[in-house]
Amino acid sequence: MRKFKEFIIEKLILFSGLASIFFVVLIFLFLLKEGLAVFKTVGFFDFLLGKKWYPISEPARLGILPLILGSLLVTLGAALISIPIGVGCAVYIAEVAPLKIKEILKAGIELLAAIPSVVLGFIGMVTLVPWVKHMFKIPTGLTALSGSIMLAFMAMPTIVSIAEDALYSVPKAYKEGALALGATHWQAIYRVIVPAASPGIMAAVMLGLGRVIGETMAVMMITGNAAVIPRSILEPVRTLTATIAAEMGEAVVGSEHYFALFAVGIVLFVISFAINVGADLFLHKENK
């Protein structure tokens, strides 16, 4: 009887384990089925490298290069802002902060993670956008930079909490050894602890960026959504995610536009898959 119970529980857990993979595969297959249909009408390279996105015109122009570059630019900007601050914050929490401040900081960061992105987008729209416009004396504040700053806030909680875990799991003996050899606290952090935790920190950064590139609502509200190839971070951009969100409601099911949006989804899937695999590789390096 007990054996039978064990057997049932084991199978149930196995099923739960496989379910998520099963769903990912299903989603991917669906994306492929709907998305690849667009290549019947548009060439593969015309789609990926085309510079014009006019999906509802006759004939439609379906080039997503401006969208890819828009997504990458916003992500790059967010990375430049969130990585130094996020990693610095993690080091402070893990190594420097007194217990009380540590608790407050951790709670604060968890709270930051809990703010819905539409709220961040709304706050960005009324505060950040006019500020950016004023600060850089540019025609409009709805730019890639505004999106980057807002998304940096969203990436930060992921980066901080995972990087902090990585720093925390560096064996105490490393730090004690460094201090015993006469290193100052800062030298021990900089030369010993951070390098020892670097695979985990890299993974933290990757996962943070994965969140950024998939973010939709906030970028749709504050990046201006103009499908141009951006020449600087102070220009409006249109991201892959915002394009899907803004246009899916209108796309007639089964039309070229509809398939193109699914193909945009495939591109996004591939990018975030690559980022996640990258993060995984770094984590594995750490475990060896």
Partner 1 sequence: MFNRIVIAALLSFCFGAAYAAESIQIKGSDTIVNLSQSWAERFMEDNPDDFIAVTGGGSGTGIASLISGTCDIANASRTIKEKEIALAKERGINPYEIKVGLDGLAVVVNPKNPVDRLTESQLSDIFTGKISNWKDAGGEDKKIVILSREVNSGTHVYFKEHILRRNDPKSREEFAPSALLMPSSQAIADEVSGNPAAIGYYGMGYISDSQKALKIAKDENSEYASPTIENVMSGKYPISRPLYIYTNGEPKGLVKKFVDFILSEDGQRIVLETDFVPIN
Interface with partner 1 (CB under 8 A): 52-57, 66, 125, 130, 133, 139-140, 142, 220-221, 224-228, 236, 238, 246-247, 249-255
Residue with smaller CB distance to partner 1, 209 or 227: 227
- By beta-carbon proximity to partner 1, the closer residue of 144 and 194 is 144
* Structure token digits, residue 10: 């084991």
d(CA 214, CA 155): 11
Q: How far apart are CA 185 and CA 91, in angstroms?
A: 12
Say whether 230 sits in a helix, a strand or coil. Answer: coil
Q: Which is nearer to partner 1, 1 or 253 (CB)?
A: 253
> What is the smallest separation between the CB atom of 113 and partner 1, expressed in angstroms?
24
Q: Which is nearer to partner 1, 139 or 195 (CB)?
A: 139
Nearest approach in angstroms of CB 224 to partner 1 is 4
The CB-of-125 to partner 1 minimum distance in angstroms stands at: 8
CB 272 to partner 1: min, Å? 23
Residue 247, CB half-sphere, CA atoms under 13 Å: how many?
A: 25
CB of 37 to partner 1, least distance (A): 16
The two tokens of residue 145 are 């930079």
Q: How far apart are CA 166 and CA 286, in angstroms?
A: 9
Q: Helix 99-114 vs helix 144-168: angle between axes, to the nearest 10 degrees?
A: 140
**Residue 221 in tokens:** 């509200």
The CB-of-53 to partner 1 minimum distance in angstroms stands at 8
- Cβ within 8 Å of residue 147, ≥6 positions away: 74, 77, 78, 218, 219, 222, 223, 237, 239
Q: Measured from the CB atom, is 55 or 208 closer to partner 1?
A: 55
| Nearer Cβ to partner 1 (32/245) | 245
